[in-house]
Structure 1
């Protein structure tokens, strides 16, 4: 494989806002990735919960290739057949009546938050504009979404940030009750806090949020950028909980690796986005919509969704077995194939060390903060890949423990 481009090039030509690994992946197939030197890695990171069907899934490649020979981009001055088919598929499978498409999770959340304020202004007046969200949440990296996110480190140096945003404790009903008022236009919750540590919401908490929003004429927004499209074992996590939001954001797994985001909502709420109120140049382009439609057709089947649950249990059992040997985790938590290993006090703050150790054994993992090792593999990851990945992780953990 060609080594004309090296990791050193990143430090010369890229803005230094990322710190990528020392190796460069150049090829992927299923849950396997190869770097420039031909080393084979098992991928349990999934492009940060994006590669829902693994790398180069043949049906996604075919959908993209077929559409690429027809029509790439026309803008939203026109519509196109693939985006309308995708909208039909998503509304048929969810609570929603309407869909808006964009290019990322941050853009999807930006649309959610703008729509919530516009809807409140249309129906209750401009003073009903406060958005409240959870501490330690994450909703994207635009100035608006990073402000709604409840992690102050992401807004440092970017002040002044948008006003009218408050935060409450995740999974704390009393904290939510204290925060919500008649000025609240929206409550924003991740059904599973992803970047915040792979922490699932309690069902009672989400039910209380639904009831409080109804009492205060506020909209309930679920950020399902990371949990959506089969990740939890249901098409969307709200279906797992039996609590229905008013607006939902989706991205990551939706495109299976091709950039796309979506906002889903009801007929009534959608009317506040009349012509000209919001837009995007690339959103809903035929290429992205064709791939996403194929992802939905594959994922939203009993076989794949049931497979997520069985594969999740296989991973959990293996991770717990590793922990029985080395006592490095407080718990393994999460839903479906979004799992987090919470480090024990003896290894507090060292999640990145676990990821680095795993990479030396040719295993790709993620962090979710400094104390949680995150796994977000393909929803169709093969059992043999799970088993071999666990063996590699066992060896990595053994080295870390021995070196401590």
Structure 2
């Protein structure tokens, strides 16, 4: 029976998933990111130190194991950034910096499942880390990579919302609210609980006055696809050096994206991101028409996630929630694939004693890169054509003197040789398209 939050796609959906993963992988590699895979488990203390709540971490232990002490408990990783930071620390002597890597792996979170939100899901991450300092231009590159990924897929337009925690923290500090982390966490709930409850929570948990809470909400209302957000923040009358730094950085991200990919990036000053390790730029991505489902791709800059002694390894990264993205699109029937199997050609079997000859034809086609299967039984040819048709397979091959191949969609049948016949490029592999 199904287990809630652990998706299992049917083969056509899995083919769509693999198509999407191939596009993601090839785009990441076009930008020079190298592949990496880290272990699925980390010490629980490592996971807990990075801002995740203990109730969302799955523990790993043997069925008969005595209760483990907290020192040696292992948990399944809840994202790919924390294990990546640990990997960098352990292998920094073997890596060339700045180190650009991508990871495409499953992660696990014990949260309440709902549409597009799972307990086991696939993520695709890119990060750049450096020793001691990381130039800011890497922050401006991240949205461009993701923009290229999403433009290569038959999905609705992606809008990447960007903010900078320095803008928020500097603004809160300039207002006279010292517990900036608490204010950030509270404002991050704006879409979930609304402005009135956020204002009340700021007064209750962050020690804000009504006027300070109102100013925090004013900042969160600012949104712009160009540099106009800077003047709108200035108009709120708050000053702080950290605020100035954040505005300058955020402006660079927005202006770089506007030059290379107009319409891709929007400055959205309510974006905060829930994880504690982000220190500067933060990203969230929504699909046009699917905004109600929230972000399908997010990340940001972190300065202190990884360190060895006095050496820090600052980084910036962004993660595509592949299962989340696909789950939402599958739920709306927004993606289709042209056939339910990879097969392009079925070789018909005239009689069982001629099966070995049919196998030789299939082998010759496969050697030339044409996905081929042999019909399962020597039924009447009408039934063998039906077998192909039900699976969306476009061609049936009839052995004979000479051999012929039939496009069962158009009914056209032509003489063919397994040594040189090639289907049109559009038919060779299943085609993924918008539903």
Q: Which has the higher contact order (CA 8 A, sep 6+)?
A: 1
Instruction: Normalising by structure 1, report the TM-score.
Output: 0.30
Choose 1 or 2 for highest CA Rg: 2
